[in-house]
Structure 1
Amino acid sequence: MSTLHPLKVAVIGAGYWGPNLARNFANSPDWRLMAICDQDGSRAQQLADRTAAVAVTESVDELLASHDIDAVAIATPAQTHHDIAMRAIAAGKHVLVEKPLADNRADGVAMVTAAEKAGMVLMADHTYCYTPAVMKIRELVESGELGEILYVDSVRINLGLVQPDVDVFWDLAPHDLSILDFVLPGGLNSVAVSAQGADPLGSGKSCVGYLSLPLANGALAHIHVNWLSPTKIRQMVIGGSRRTLIWDDLNPQQRISVFDRGVTLQRQSDVLDDAAQRRASQISYRLGDTWSPALPEYEALAKMVGEFAISIREGRSSRTDGRAALRVLSVLEAANRSLTRGGRRSPVSGSGLLLEEAI
């Protein structure tokens, strides 16, 4: 348990995600939940009653002006994130924002810039990055256990609600994109993206989508998102030159499996001159053991709010800071452009630049 005085936080938004944030802040030794803010006062009061928050307000301005808080956690619709975050930063508050960071890259850039100039922590609630499984995947990639990453294939499908304000890419793909940014060496640094979407329901937005991103050294990431599947699948395959990892988030007994199986390509200089023999000799298959690492049990959101507190106290960027969220946002915008161009590859804004130039 922390021996430091708890930081003081307010949750803005008492709808779908706000209660999860409020519960974890209330239960954390690093935090003291001070207030709930929501335009619906009765909804805010109900959440405050469940989490022992001492204050309720319907006004963000009143919250920032009249309540003793160090930080705010924003759990409101994406189109409101920029306005609320900018007001909070101007008031000297650290900011946690649920995904996505904003509903457009320009607003995301403004948020990151304002926070850095003010010396405030801006963190994205990319919850999956704090799960035991994804933390282990990051560790295995960093240690070189998988070797050089050759491909990533991710599936996130279910029979879900068609969202009123965003398409399936903006609803589901941020999870996979934030995970890739978290675990891949160098983060999410694709220079272009191609996206294909379908709207078989006639809803006016893509309900099924496929996203392809070239990665470093000729590798490729592919993400499938779908609101219309009768079965729920949450899987990611990360193929490496040494080993391949499969993450099945819906299998609590064995979320991660590591396969010492794959294809080995010899250098052309190592084989015979004859073309046919060279092609045959270049490829060899290996079949080794399969193992599953033990994972600790904890709630990802608890880990996330702890990281928020540590970032503030140490004056450092969080593991899922505003720049990481901006990289995800940049890919989503590029996917939008690709959709309007019939799936043609679209450049990712800010990619390949120095950080200062990228934002």
Structure 2
Amino acid sequence: MLRVGVVGVGMMGQHHVRVYSELAREGRVELVGIADANLERAKELARKFGTKAYSDYRELAKEGLDAVDIAVPTSLHREVALEFIEAGTSVLVEKPIADTIENARAIIEAAEREGVTLMVGHIERFNPAVLKLKELVSRGELGRLVTVSAKRVGPMAARIRDVGIIIDLGVHDIDVISYLFGEPVKTVYARAKNVVHPAGVEDHALITLGFDDGSGIVETNWLTPHKTRTLTVVGTGGIAYLDYIEQSLKLYNSEWIKEAKIQKREPLRNELEHFVECVEKGKRPIVDGKAGMHALKVALLAQESARTGKVLEVEG
């Protein structure tokens, strides 16, 4: 049975612990422990989910884990990931993979050197509606893709962030749009400003992504009073409307309108089950380090484009 742990049990990490505890009750993993600098918080969750709490992730790394889930602030991803990778532990690191390309590359190279699984937590890849849309696109239901437009807006959460909205939210749709086109982003142009973010970083952005034969648009902000998470895909053979939250997908063409039959399921559960399976069977994750680094690179270039007003090429 796979021995797993979680580092970072804040807003996202607590849900990771919950899902692993469900998998543990099903006999699929052993949740060995959870670590957080806030030991009282870790103890509270450990009591709730029947595991052990640590204040120092290095102590958890000594427990001989098969896999660890890292949900700490992005600036700590490299430090924590390398500790576990060098101990021979497979790693799922929350998106974005790191705060810089240099740190992302260090994580990827270490995982390759040690021969462990590395997966990046781009959760929307595991949304049942996105999986269905990718299936339909691959079958040619929409013809050749022309544009993919995402809207990811809503109120700013109470917690204070040290990153802007492009890295925190925009990176989701950068990854999904590239996934749907089936190719990396070639060019980036963005406009972004700050209105309410206390750290002074961007809290609204409009990002244009260039592909070989199509375009992507990402609209994102922390200014809209209600949460919206949608995707519109235009192809030469029709148009599709996806709602991430409702997990719904509708297709239109010149002759008919139809709604995809989707079995709704928690994306996080899908994601963590996939990670466990990849570690157990030695499979390459759907979102590997290379995909995670590409999404980060595009997001960082979008920030640079917003500062300089230039269209930037994505190298590599």
Return the TM-score normalized by structure 2: 0.94
1:37 corresponds, among 35, 38, 46, to 35
**Aligned partner letter, 2:252:** F
Residue 247 (structure 2) pairs with residue 249 (structure 1)? no
CA distance in 2, matches of 1:322, 1:202: 30
Deviation at 1:56, TM superposition (A): 1.4
Q: Is the CA contact 1:334–1:349 (under 8 Å) kept in the aligned structure 2?
A: no
Amino acid across the alignment from 2:181: L
Q: Greater Rg, structure 1 or structure 2?
A: 1
2:282 is equivalent to residue 329 of structure 1: no
Q: Quick one: distance in 2 between partners of 1:207 and 1:10?
A: 33
Structure 1 CA distance, aligned partners of 2:193 and 2:94?
Answer: 26
1:340 maps to which residue?
307
Give the secondary structure class of the aligned counterpart of 1:165: coil
1:153 match: secondary structure: strand
Q: Secondary structure at the match of 2:191?
A: strand
| Residue of structure 1 equivalent to 2:22 | 27
The answer for the alignment partner of 1:159 in structure 2 is: 155
Counterparts of 2:307 and 2:87, CA distance in 1: 39
1:241 Cα deviation after fit: 1.0
TM-score, normalising length: structure 1: 0.83
Distance in 2 (CA, whole Å) between partners of 1:319 and 1:182 is: 10
Classify 1:117/1:68 alpha carbon distance in 2 versus 1 (closer, same or farther; 3 Å): closer
What residue in structure 1 maps to residue 267 of structure 2?
Answer: 300
Q: Does 1:147 align with 2:114?
A: no
The one of 182, 185, 201 equivalent to 1:185 is 182
- Following TM superposition, by how much is the alpha carbon of 1:297 offset from its aligned partner in structure 2, in angstroms? 2.4
Name the SS of the counterpart of 2:255 in structure 1: strand
Give the SS at the match of 1:288. Answer: coil
Map residues 184-203 of structure 1 onto 2, 5 A cutoff.
Answer: 184-186=181-183, 189-201=184-196, 203=198
Stretches of structure 1 that go unaligned for 5 or more consecutive residues are: 1-5, 261-286, 351-359
Give the deviation of 1:338 after TM superposition: 0.8
State, as a whole percentage, how many aligned pairs show the same letter: 28
* Structure 2 equivalent of residue 269 of structure 1: none
Give the Cα separation in 2 of the matches to 1:16 and 1:161.
Answer: 11
Note if 1:71 corresponds to 2:71: no
For the pair 1:11 / 2:12, whether they are aligned, the reply is no
Pick aligned residue for 2:225 from 214, 223, 230: 230
Q: 1:327 to 1:234 in 2, by over 3 A?
A: same
Contact 1:94 1:122 in 2 (8 A): yes
Equivalent position SS for 2:68: strand
Q: CA deviation at 1:202?
A: 7.0
Distance 1:160 1:97 in 2: 24
Alignment size in residue pairs: 311
Distance 1:15 1:152, change over 3 A: same
Partner residue, 1:270? none
* Alpha-carbon separation, structure 1, partners of 2:246 and 2:7: 33
Amino acid at match of 1:313: E
Aligned to 1:263: none
Q: Provide the C-alpha distance between the structure 2 equivalents of 1:174 and 1:190, rounded to a whole number of angstroms.
A: 12
* SS across alignment from 2:242: strand
Can you list the C-alpha shifts for 1:103-156, whole angstroms capped at 9, x where unaligned? 111111111111112111110111111111011011111111111110011111
CA gap 1:233/1:241 in 2 versus in 1, 3 angstroms: same
Contact 2:178 2:185 in 1 (8 A): no
CA change 1:10–1:202 in 2 (3 A) is closer
Does residue 117 of structure 1 match 2:132? no
Maintained 8 Å contact 1:132/1:300? yes
Q: Cα 1:243–1:94, aligned 2, differ >3 Å: closer, same or farther?
A: same
Letter in 2 for 1:294: K
CA distance in 2, matches of 1:148, 1:59: 50
Map Cα deviations across residues 61-117 of structure 1 (whole Å, 9 max, x no partner): 21112x131111001100000110011110100000111111111111111111112
**Aligned counterpart, 1:52:** 50
- Worse overlay, 200-209 or 235-244: 200-209
1:181–1:324 contact (8 Å) kept in structure 2: no
Structure 2 residue identity aligned to 1:199: N
Unpaired stretches in structure 2, ≥5 consecutive residues: none
Give the SS at the match of 2:256: strand
C-alpha RMSD of the superposition? 1.5
Instruction: Please report how far the alpha carbon of residue 11 of structure 1 lies from its aligned counterpart in structure 2 after TM superposition.
Output: 0.4
CA contact (8 A) 1:37 1:60 kept: yes
Distance 2:68 2:242 in 1: 33
- 1:192–1:334 Cα contact (<8 Å) kept: no
CA contact (8 A) 1:8 1:70 kept: yes
Q: Give, in whole Å, the separation in 1 of the partners of 2:269 and 2:226.
A: 29
Verify: 1:83 aligned to 2:79, yes or no.
yes
1:102 paired with 2:98, answer yes
